Chain A
């Protein structure tokens, strides 16, 4: 049985559909990330799961029991969930210990038991020494750890995270995302993690739901999202892929800018327009015409930037389509010169129609 299930959930604000027909099934212990640009509806979805707002249509179920629908909502305090907020929402009027112990106090545990569990969880997040501090005395990373400890100590069945790392600097962000995954693996609760950062989603989640304009574009494991983007949006959003447009010649070949390219990804219908995705570093760039004419495009360098570990080229095809190519740093070709691009068929994926 699924732990948490969203069934055709939508949420409207006036005429705007913030979340449209969202369905999701999570088994116990799964870690899903809702990924998308701001305004895509991911936070709204999370807040509906938490019970802070009802869906306009559709239902949310937990362990097979309905907890949210348009007409009735189990209030957040009865959902056996925990949440980590973007602002952390650490209560400044309570010490670290009081913050972490709050949920246990609400559950009416004994003083001694609360102390024991608070100490244990503070050990886990390496904050034991700061138990008596007030939040104002803590750094951003420490506040984040308090928020984690506070959410986990009550042993939630579902943990919700709303862009928890967006207020941290880059180093801490990396450290904390491994921490979040480590704690998930240790306690095996079900996690829903909202973020706009693809690397955060990639490194933490078992399953990523890429969202755009309130809709789920693709729901799949990180590797599949990366290697088999289903839509142009997913291809561009994850790893910044190049998009080529052409028309299908038969079930595997496409005509692009006057050349013929073999593709993978899906079976094509001859005569239909096709969008192809290929990543920057998968394109091989050469100054001279290659031996075999297979899967090649002719282009002109319009710009190149030396990045140290690589060279970032912008090239234009004959039909003015611009592509970005990552080449080795020693490979120096001046703007204005002609180049040949090799696009390996295995990496040139035909995207789903619309």
Chain B
């Protein structure tokens, strides 16, 4: 018996390394140029372009930074970032320590609540907190007045503090993720070593555990800071009524009628600069002092016994969860099912009308939800395929300078959503492409925005795959494509599903890059919610926001089934 072997012909000899992988490389680099480089270049070029003549000018910068209130907005942003990150640290670090290192009761429950916080878009949180802490009508104020019979309540969400608290409440999961990841690598043996040398629990924590986790905590704080200064929704809902501006809301005003994209581009530059600087700093901190990651095997970890203090820990966790989950969702539910939210919890105030209205009567609300899911699905698919290709080329070193491709995939991480949107607007809104208002420009922008998540996940998955799995295919007569189709693909299915969900879920609620790019027919749910908040329709808004949250649950369930309960709270998720 003989097997017909593929011919050993000299025509199949490839010469000088020029083969199909090069074509793929060129195709991928073309796509990345289109998605990442070109919007960035347009952003910079536009900031130096005169609006009418198209000539070179510095006047955009003069306009953008010529007024003190424009400059003030930048300082507001920086202050907001610092205060929010600090508050988020106060929320997150004790929780992270309690959950990952102690015998605090209900650790799984607390993790679940952090996840619930994480999947709540900050603008939804902001709306809930307007219901809770609006001056006079807010529920916390009403409760205070009821208890103390005072004339007015002490809380006012429409303030700098109010905004900072709301942002901190919905960005603390980032610090939580970074800190738990680091703490879970600190082995009990390291702590035991301190104990046996005479250090008590608190000293051990202060001298050993915390210093080991410190780089990760700093990294998380920086991410929170950047999240706060890049956020659009919550500041627009709170800062504008409170009569102060931050960079993103100011950019929104430059984008109002008439659109002054040149000035906006010039105005966006410091935001971009700060972000790049801090990301570089974060990487340096995490690399140089990231010794936790170097210990490899974490070793055995025993929870630290807190005694009675474990209930105090649990109480604190419940306090944070009350602010970020329990109270907000309680009053969002109340508003969504109320005829008028101000009338409170009364049986005759309950109605399903709001849901019926947003789903069936409102002209664009239902369509906006469908749009959100369609665009998120398309961009998640595109981003996963693209980053998988790049990660494959990079990890297998198929071409020289493959690292450039990886860098381009990671680069959008440093571009805030609003800034990315301005770049896309500058690059693709004018002819010849004239993509403004099309679904395509939103999909492309979302794809670019979430490339880093896709790339981090795809390359992690590929690195876990032994190259011999593919070489075995090759040596048995299969081509590289066969290896990808029959072995790599099936083995990466789970991780790729995970990456897809990690992109899809945030993409369904993406607001900051959508707000500058949507058109009349391409409104997405996040923009719809934002519009409703401007109109003051909190009942409809609450209903729509809850529908959006509800639709995410099955996806979350699929992700947890396929990848484990905490798949959204891992480091690769951010």
Interface residues of A (CB under 8 A from B): 50-52, 62-63, 65-67, 71-83, 85-87, 89, 91-93, 102-104, 106-109, 117, 150-151, 154-155, 157, 160
- How far is B405's CA from A289's CA once the two chains are assembled, in angstroms? 77
Find out whether the CB atom of B6 lies under 8 angstroms from the CB atom of A87. no
CB distance from B110 to the nearest CB of A (A): 34
Does B473 count as interface, using CB distance less than 8 angstroms? yes
With contacts A117-B1, A155-B3 known, is A77 near B475, CB below 8 A? yes
CB distance from B466 to the nearest CB of A (A): 5
Besides A77-B478, A80-B8, 13 other CB < 8 A contacts? A74-B13, A79-B475, A81-B475, A85-B471, A87-B468, A89-B468, A91-B472, A102-B478, A106-B477, A106-B478, A107-B4, A107-B477, A155-B2
Does B196 count as interface, using CB distance less than 8 angstroms? no
Does B570 count as interface, using CB distance less than 8 angstroms? no
With contacts A62-B8, A73-B14, A91-B487 known, is A86 near B468, CB below 8 A? yes
Does B346 count as interface, using CB distance less than 8 angstroms? no
Does B433 count as interface, using CB distance less than 8 angstroms? no
Tell me which of B2, B474, B490 contacts A75 (CB under 8 A).
B474
Find out whether the CB atom of B475 lies under 8 angstroms from the CB atom of A65. no
- How far is B16's CA from A71's CA once the two chains are assembled, in angstroms? 5
- How far is B1's CA from A107's CA once the two chains are assembled, in angstroms? 14
Q: Give the chain A neighbours of B479 by CB distance below 8 A.
A: 75, 77
- How far is B433's CA from A244's CA once the two chains are assembled, in angstroms? 82
Find out whether the CB atom of B475 lies under 8 angstroms from the CB atom of A50. yes
CB distance from A329 to the nearest CB of B (A): 43
Q: Give the chain B neighbours of A80 by CB distance below 8 A.
A: 5-6, 8
- How far is B472's CA from A3's CA once the two chains are assembled, in angstroms? 22
Find out whether the CB atom of A78 lies under 8 angstroms from the CB atom of B3. no
Tell me which of A66, A76, A154, A160 contacts B474 (CB under 8 A).
A76
Does B362 count as interface, using CB distance less than 8 angstroms? no
Tell me which of B4, B5, B9, B476 contacts A102 (CB under 8 A).
B476
Does B45 count as interface, using CB distance less than 8 angstroms? no
With contacts A83-B471, A93-B490, A93-B491 known, is A150 near B8, CB below 8 A? no
Q: Which of B1-40 contact A (CB under 8 A)?
A: 1-10, 12-16
Find out whether the CB atom of A103 lies under 8 angstroms from the CB atom of B476. yes
- How far is B12's CA from A352's CA once the two chains are assembled, in angstroms? 44
Find out whether the CB atom of B478 lies under 8 angstroms from the CB atom of A65. no
Does B482 count as interface, using CB distance less than 8 angstroms? yes
Q: Give the chain B neighbours of A104 by CB distance below 8 A.
A: 3
- How far is B470's CA from A50's CA once the two chains are assembled, in angstroms? 13
Shortest Cβ-Cβ A-B pairs, 8 listed = A103-B476, A89-B468, A89-B472, A76-B474, A85-B468, A93-B490, A83-B475, A72-B13
21 contacts between A and B (CB under 8 A): A52-B474, A66-B10, A72-B15, A74-B13, A75-B474, A76-B474, A77-B478, A78-B8, A78-B12, A80-B8, A81-B475, A87-B468, A89-B466, A91-B486, A91-B491, A93-B487, A102-B476, A102-B478, A102-B486, A106-B477, A154-B3
Find out whether the CB atom of A83 lies under 8 angstroms from the CB atom of B477. no
- How far is B532's CA from A103's CA once the two chains are assembled, in angstroms? 61
With contacts A83-B471, A83-B472, A155-B2 known, is A78 near B487, CB below 8 A? no
- How far is B5's CA from A71's CA once the two chains are assembled, in angstroms? 24
Does B152 count as interface, using CB distance less than 8 angstroms? no
Q: Give the chain A neighbours of B10 by CB distance below 8 A.
A: 65-66
CB distance from B140 to the nearest CB of A (A): 54
- How far is B1's CA from A92's CA once the two chains are assembled, in angstroms? 29
Interface centre among A50, A81, A83, A93 (most CB of B within 10 A): A93
CB distance from B42 to the nearest CB of A (A): 40
With contacts A85-B468, A92-B491, A117-B1 known, is A75 near B12, CB below 8 A? yes
CB distance from B291 to the nearest CB of A (A): 28
CB distance from B212 to the nearest CB of A (A): 33
- How far is B471's CA from A103's CA once the two chains are assembled, in angstroms? 12
Interface centre among A77, A104, A151 (most CB of B within 10 A): A77
- B2: nearest residue on chain A (CB-CB)? A155
With contacts A50-B475, A107-B477 known, is A89 near B469, CB below 8 A? yes
Count: A-B pairs, CB below 8 Å: 108
CB distance from A270 to the nearest CB of B (A): 54
- How far is B469's CA from A67's CA once the two chains are assembled, in angstroms? 23
- How far is B476's CA from A89's CA once the two chains are assembled, in angstroms? 12
CB distance from A194 to the nearest CB of B (A): 13
Tell me which of A73, A82, A157 contacts B476 (CB under 8 A).
A82
Q: Give the chain A neighbours of B477 by CB distance below 8 A.
A: 77-78, 103, 106-107, 154
Q: Which of B477-495 contact A (CB under 8 A)?
A: 477-479, 482, 486-487, 490-491
CB distance from A267 to the nearest CB of B (A): 46
CB distance from B230 to the nearest CB of A (A): 40
- How far is B27's CA from A116's CA once the two chains are assembled, in angstroms? 43
- B12: nearest residue on chain A (CB-CB)? A78
Find out whether the CB atom of A76 lies under 8 angstroms from the CB atom of B13. no
Find out whether the CB atom of B6 lies under 8 angstroms from the CB atom of A76. no
Interface residues of B (CB under 8 A from A): 1-10, 12-16, 466, 468-469, 471-479, 482, 486-487, 490-491
- A62: nearest residue on chain B (CB-CB)? B8
Find out whether the CB atom of B8 lies under 8 angstroms from the CB atom of A79. yes
Q: Give the chain A neighbours of B9 by CB distance below 8 A.
A: 78
Q: Give the chain A neighbours of B486 by CB distance below 8 A.
A: 91, 102
Q: Give the chain B neighbours of A50 by CB distance below 8 A.
A: 471, 475
Q: Give the chain B neighbours of A92 by CB distance below 8 A.
A: 491
CB distance from B397 to the nearest CB of A (A): 11
- How far is B151's CA from A236's CA once the two chains are assembled, in angstroms? 96
Q: Give the chain A neighbours of B472 by CB distance below 8 A.
A: 83, 85, 89, 91, 150
CB distance from A177 to the nearest CB of B (A): 20
- How far is B486's CA from A77's CA once the two chains are assembled, in angstroms? 15
- How far is B16's CA from A154's CA once the two chains are assembled, in angstroms? 30
Find out whether the CB atom of B482 lies under 8 angstroms from the CB atom of A106. yes
Q: Give the chain B neighbours of A65 by CB distance below 8 A.
A: 8, 10
Find out whether the CB atom of B471 lies under 8 angstroms from the CB atom of A74. no
Q: Give the chain B neighbours of A102 by CB distance below 8 A.
A: 473, 476, 478, 486
CB distance from B482 to the nearest CB of A (A): 7
- How far is B12's CA from A180's CA once the two chains are assembled, in angstroms? 32
Find out whether the CB atom of B8 lies under 8 angstroms from the CB atom of A74. yes
- How far is B27's CA from A40's CA once the two chains are assembled, in angstroms? 40
- How far is B6's CA from A77's CA once the two chains are assembled, in angstroms? 8
- B493: nearest residue on chain A (CB-CB)? A93
- How far is B2's CA from A17's CA once the two chains are assembled, in angstroms? 40
Find out whether the CB atom of B12 lies under 8 angstroms from the CB atom of A150. no
- How far is B13's CA from A154's CA once the two chains are assembled, in angstroms? 22
Q: Give the chain B neighbours of A85 by CB distance below 8 A.
A: 468, 471-472
Find out whether the CB atom of B3 lies under 8 angstroms from the CB atom of A77. no
With contacts A103-B476, A117-B1 known, is A76 near B471, CB below 8 A? yes
Find out whether the CB atom of A52 lies under 8 angstroms from the CB atom of B471. yes
- How far is B476's CA from A179's CA once the two chains are assembled, in angstroms? 21
CB distance from A114 to the nearest CB of B (A): 10
- How far is B478's CA from A107's CA once the two chains are assembled, in angstroms? 9
- How far is B241's CA from A86's CA once the two chains are assembled, in angstroms? 66
- How far is B466's CA from A101's CA once the two chains are assembled, in angstroms? 21
CB distance from A171 to the nearest CB of B (A): 25
- How far is B3's CA from A79's CA once the two chains are assembled, in angstroms? 13
Tell me which of A63, A72, A79 contacts B14 (CB under 8 A).
A72
- How far is B13's CA from A51's CA once the two chains are assembled, in angstroms? 11
- How far is B479's CA from A77's CA once the two chains are assembled, in angstroms? 6
CB distance from A46 to the nearest CB of B (A): 11
Find out whether the CB atom of B2 lies under 8 angstroms from the CB atom of A71. no
- How far is B5's CA from A81's CA once the two chains are assembled, in angstroms? 10
Q: Give the chain A neighbours of B478 by CB distance below 8 A.
A: 77, 102-103, 106
CB distance from A288 to the nearest CB of B (A): 57
- B474: nearest residue on chain A (CB-CB)? A76
With contacts A62-B8, A106-B477 known, is A89 near B482, CB below 8 A? no
- How far is B471's CA from A109's CA once the two chains are assembled, in angstroms? 21
- How far is B9's CA from A144's CA once the two chains are assembled, in angstroms? 32
Q: Give the chain B neighbours of A107 by CB distance below 8 A.
A: 3-6, 477
- How far is B9's CA from A62's CA once the two chains are assembled, in angstroms? 12
CB distance from B79 to the nearest CB of A (A): 51
